[in-house]
Amino acid sequence: MGEYGIGQPVRREEDPYLLRGQGRYVGDVAVAGELRAVVLRSPHAHADILAIDVEAARAMPGVVLVLTGRDPAAAALGTQVPHTRRSRRDGSPAFVTPQPMLATDRVRHVGEAVAFVVAETLNQAKDAAEAIAVDYAPLPAVPSLAAAIAPDAPAVHDGCPGNDAFCHALGDAEATERGIAGAARVVRRRLTISRVLANPMEPRGCLAEHDPRGGRLTLRCTTQAPHTLRRILAGEILHIPEARLRVISENVGGGFGARGQIAPEYALACLAAKLTGRPVRWSADRSETFLSDEHHRDNITDAEIALDADGRVLALRVKTFANLGAYYGADRTAGPPINNLGVLAGTYVIPAIRVEVTGVLSNTMTTGPYRGAGRPEAAYVIETMMDAAARELGLDPVALRRRNTIPAEAMPHRTALVYTYDCGDFGKNIEDALALADIDGFTRRLEESRARGQLRGIGVSSTVEASNAGLIEHADIRFDPGGSVTVSVGTHDHGQGHQTTFRQIVADRLGLPPDQIELRFGDTAEVDIGTGTFGSRSTVTAGSAIVAAADKIIAKAKRIAAALLEADPADLDFAAGRFTVAGTDRSVALSDVARASFSPARLPPGVEPGLFEQHTSDGGVRTYPNGCHVSEVEIDRETGVVRLVRHVAVDDVGRMINPLLVEGQIHGGIAQGAGQALMEAIVYDAEGQLVTGSFTDSCMPRAGDLPPFVLGENEVPTATNPLGVKGAGESGTVGALSSITSAVADALARVGAAPVTMPATPEKVWRAMRDAAS
C-alpha cells in the first residue's frame, strides 16, 4: 500500500502526542470524589505479626477506611494459584505458597503489604499509615539465593525445609551423562545471573470505581495485559464474574513484562471502592517501586559442556537454582526459569542436553518476567560456556561457534531439548555481524587502547530465542456506514508501536488509506477477548488474527461487490482496495462496498447487512527470532570503569512489518542488556533490607553510557504464520547481555584476570585486575 504498506519504515504515529504530554495515563484521569490510598509495608524481611492496632489511624482527620489482613472484607479476598502442576525432587507436589493481599500472621519480605489506608488526601492517608502500630517479632531471614540453598538455611515457610518449592527437569539425562563421560574435554563453570528491576518510567498505579447498579467495577491501571488481569483479578481474587470487571489500560509508561504483575494494590483498591462507595486511587512512589514491583532474573547455575578432541560439542548439562522470592503462588513466578529452557540449546548442534531447575524460596520480593523472561539467562549460560570452552581449548571463540553452528540447510532442526527451529541462517548472522563490526580492525583498536593505558575486549554471542505461543488473541474489523474501519485487538501497545504496525497490516491487506483505520485496544469493555502483550507475541498472534479477519472481510465484500457489478463473484479480483471484474475496467472500491453493505436492498440474497468480521487466533506455534551481537568494551586500568564502546547486532526477526520500529525495539533491548551486564543490580543486605532502594543506590544506563548501535538484518521469513514474522521485542536483550559480558571477560583475560559476576561494576573489575597482578 504505497508508503504505508508492509515493509515500510513508517514513523510511529503515537509519538507526537506522547512527546507533547498528551498521553492518557492513569494519573491523567481525574474522577470526582476520589479518595487516596497508601500501603503500610513491612520493615522486616521475616517476622511474626503479634498485633496490629489501627484505632488511632481510623480516628485521624480525613480517614475513610483502614484495612488489615484480619478484617473480614480483606480476608475474604482470594489469592492467585499456579495452574501448571509441578513437583519437588522427590516427586511430591510443588510447595505452593499463596500470598494474601495483606499479610496476616507473618511477613516474609521487606515491603510486604500489611495495611491499606484510604483517606480524603494523600497526606492524610500517609499520616494515618504512620499511626498504625504493628507489633513484630523478627525471625531469621534468608536474604539471598545463596543463603537460601545453603545446607543450614532457615525455612522461609514452615513445612518447606531446604526452601525448594519445585524441581523441573528436561532433556535426556543418560545420553548427556554418556556424552560427558566420553568427552576429550569437559569444562565446568558456576554462573551467577544477577537480580534486577524493570523500573518503568511510570510507577504502578490504579484508579478503581464501583457502580452499585449491577455491582460493576472499573479499574484503570498500569497493565500490559488487561484481559489476563481481568480474568485473574475477577475469578481468583474478587470472586465476581468477569463481565462485572472492566479493566482500562490506555497509555502505559513502560512494561517490559513487569506490568503483567497482578498487584495486591489493584484488588485492595477495588475492594475499597466498593466499601466506601467512592473512587479510590493508589499510586506507588519510586521507593515503593523498588520494594514492591516484581524483581527479575536471580539465578545460580552450575554448567558442564563436553567436547571432543576436534572442539565439537557432545553434551551440555545445566543445574539452575532460581530465586522465586518469598512466595510461589502464581505461574508468573515459575515462568521465566522454566518456560524458555529450550534457549539453552542455542544456535548449535548439541546431541545431548540435560537441565534441572530448582525453584527456591527466600525472604525477598517475588520474581517475575522481565524482557526476555528466561531467554537472556539461558543464552548467557550457553554463550558463556562456549567462551569458556574456547579458552580452555586454546581456540578462537568465533571459530568454535562456527564449528558447532547449525547449518541453514539443516532446517528444520530439532534440538536436544524442546524446540524445533523451522528456519534461520545462524551462520550468516555471524559473518554479517563480524563484517559490520570490522573484526579485522580489532587488533588495531586493541593496540590503540593499550597505548592509552586501557584494556580492550571483544565479545560475540550467537543466540536464538522463542516467541510466546499457544495463548489466544483476538482481532475484530468493523466498517461503519461511512466506509471507515475500526480494528480492535486484545494485545496492548505500551511503546511497541502497534497503532502504526497494525494499521500497516490492515492498509496493506484491505488497500485502505491509513486515515480511514481506527485502532482500539486496552479496554476490556471495547475488546471482549485477548491475552496481552509480552513474549514477542503480538504481531505473530494479533497480526495473524487481523489478516484472518481481513480475509473474511474480503470474502464477504466480494459477494456484495459482485451484486453491485452484476458479475459472478468468481470473476472478481481484489487488489489495492478495489474489486475488478477480470478482463474489464469495471470496478468498485472496498469502501463503497462497505457503504452499500448497510443498505439491505443492495445486498444479494442471504447476505447479512453490515461489513464486520472477527477472528480469534489460538496463539499459533513458537517462532524463533535469532541473531548475532558483537560488543567491544574498554576498561580503565586505574579505576575498573567499563565502557561499552562498540556494539553491532544482526538479527533475524522474520519478515519486518516496519523496519524502523524493529530497529527501535532492538535498540531498547540492547540498552537493557547492557544495563544488567554493566551496572544494574538489586541487592539485599544480610538482614534482608533492600540496599538498592532508590536511584541514589541503584544504577541504570543513560544515553552517555551507550555507543551508537550498528544494526543489520538477516530477514528469513517463517512459514508458521501468514505474515512470516518471528518477533522482535526481546532479541536485543537476549543477544546483548551475553556479548557484553563476554567482552568484559575477554578484556580481563588479556591481563590474566578471572571473569567477574554481572554486573561488571568498577569495584569488581578493579579487584579482579588487582588479584591478577598480585
C-alpha 244/C-alpha 706 separation (Å) is 47
For residue 393, how far is the Cα from the chain centroid?
Answer: 36
- Among 617, 652, 670, the domain-final residue is 617
- Among 589, 617, 645, the domain-final residue is 617
Alpha-helix residue ranges (DSSP H) falling in 584-714? 590-596, 659-678
Q: What values do phi and psi take at 767, rounded to 5?
A: -65, -40
Domain identity same for 268 and 321: no
Domain identity same for 106 and 37: yes
Q: What values do phi and psi take at 208, rounded to 5?
A: -110, 140
Confidence band of 3 (pLDDT split at 50, 70, 90):
confident
How big is the CA angle at 273 (ends 269 and 279), to the nearest 5 degrees? 95
Residue 736 in any domain: the answer is yes
**Best CA proximity match to 62, nearest among 111, 133, 108, 128:** 128
Domain identity same for 641 and 763: yes
C-alpha 533/C-alpha 494 separation (Å) is 9
13-21 long-range contacts (CB < 8 A, ≥24 apart) are 13/499, 13/500, 13/503, 14/493, 14/497, 14/499, 14/500, 18/251
Q: What values do phi and psi take at 302, rounded to 5?
A: -100, 120
Contact by Cβ (8 Å): 334, 359 = yes
**Best CA proximity match to 76, nearest among 101, 53, 55, 42:** 101
Would you tell me how many other CB atoms lie within 10 Å of the CB of residue 481? 14
Domain identity same for 109 and 225: yes
Contact by Cβ (8 Å): 534, 468 = yes
Interstrand relation of 35-41 and 280-283 (parallel, antiparallel or unpaired): parallel
Domain identity same for 135 and 253: yes
**Best CA proximity match to 275, nearest among 56, 77, 113, 61:** 77
Residue 659 in any domain: the answer is yes
pLDDT at 2: 56
Residue 717 in any domain: the answer is yes
Alpha carbons within 13 A on the beta-carbon side of 742: 32
Contact by Cβ (8 Å): 223, 206 = no
Strand partners of residue 196: 296
Asked if pLDDT for residue 65 goes beyond 70, the answer is yes
Residue 136 in any domain: the answer is yes
pLDDT in tens, 96-146: 999 999 999 999 999 999 999 999 999 999 999 999 999 999 999 999 999
User: What is the model's pTM?
Assistant: 0.95
What percent of the chain lies above the pLDDT cut of 70?
Answer: 100
Tell me the DSSP string of 138-157.
E-----SHHHHTSTTPPPSS
Give residues with Cβ within 8 angstroms of 84, minimum separation 6. 331, 334
The CATH number for 723's domain is 3.30.365.10
Domain identity same for 496 and 576: yes
Domain identity same for 171 and 70: no
Domain identity same for 186 and 246: no
What percent of the chain lies above the pLDDT cut of 90?
Answer: 96
Strand partners of residue 709: 647
Domain identity same for 103 and 169: no
Is the torsion defined by CA of 681, 685, 689, 695 positive or negative? negative
Using left for φ > 0, alpha for ψ between -120 and 50, and beta otherwise, residue 576 falls in: left
Asked if pLDDT for residue 461 goes beyond 80, the answer is yes
C-alpha cell at 542: 494479533
Confidence band of 542 (pLDDT split at 50, 70, 90):
very high
Residue 432 in any domain: the answer is no
pLDDT at 159: 93
Number of domains composing the chain = 4
Give residues with Cβ within 8 angstroms of 148, minimum separation 6. 142, 156, 163, 321, 323, 360, 361, 362
Give the Å distances, CA to CA, from 721 to 187, 197, 472, 774: 40, 33, 14, 58
Asked if pLDDT for residue 38 goes beyond 60, the answer is yes
Contact by Cβ (8 Å): 114, 102 = yes
Residue 575 parent element (H or E): strand 572-575
Domain identity same for 574 and 584: yes
Q: In the predicted model, what is the mean pLDDT of residues 462-469?
A: 93
Contact by Cβ (8 Å): 389, 205 = no
Confidence band of 468 (pLDDT split at 50, 70, 90):
confident
**Best CA proximity match to 295, nearest among 666, 673, 683:** 683
**Best CA proximity match to 642, nearest among 772, 745, 712, 725:** 745
Give the Å distances, CA to CA, from 71 to 56, 66, 75: 16, 9, 6
C-alpha cell at 70: 484480619
C-alpha 417/C-alpha 669 separation (Å) is 26
Domain identity same for 749 and 689: yes
Residue 515 in any domain: the answer is yes
The CATH number for 37's domain is 3.90.1170.50
pLDDT at 1: 46
C-alpha cell at 601: 436492498
Give the Å distances, CA to CA, from 506 to 244, 301, 473, 475, 511: 32, 45, 16, 11, 8
Residue 427 in any domain: the answer is no
Q: In the predicted model, what is the mean pLDDT of residues 437-457?
A: 97
Strand partners of residue 574: 579
* Residues spanned by the domain of 356: 142-198+294-421
Q: What strands lie across the sheet with 626-636, from one edge to the other? A: 454-464, 626-636, 642-652, 709-713
Asked if pLDDT for residue 689 goes beyond 50, the answer is yes
Q: In the predicted model, what is the mean pLDDT of residues 59-65?
A: 98
Residue 621 parent element (H or E): none
- Among 566, 594, 617, the domain-final residue is 617
Contact by Cβ (8 Å): 688, 45 = yes
Confidence band of 5 (pLDDT split at 50, 70, 90):
confident
Q: In the predicted model, what is the mean pLDDT of residues 227-249?
A: 97
Give residues with Cβ within 8 angstroms of 374, minimum separation 6. 335, 336, 337, 338, 339, 340, 341, 343
Domain identity same for 535 and 633: no
C-alpha 228/C-alpha 732 separation (Å) is 26
pLDDT in tens, 252-295: 999 999 999 999 999 999 999 999 999 999 999 999 999 999 99
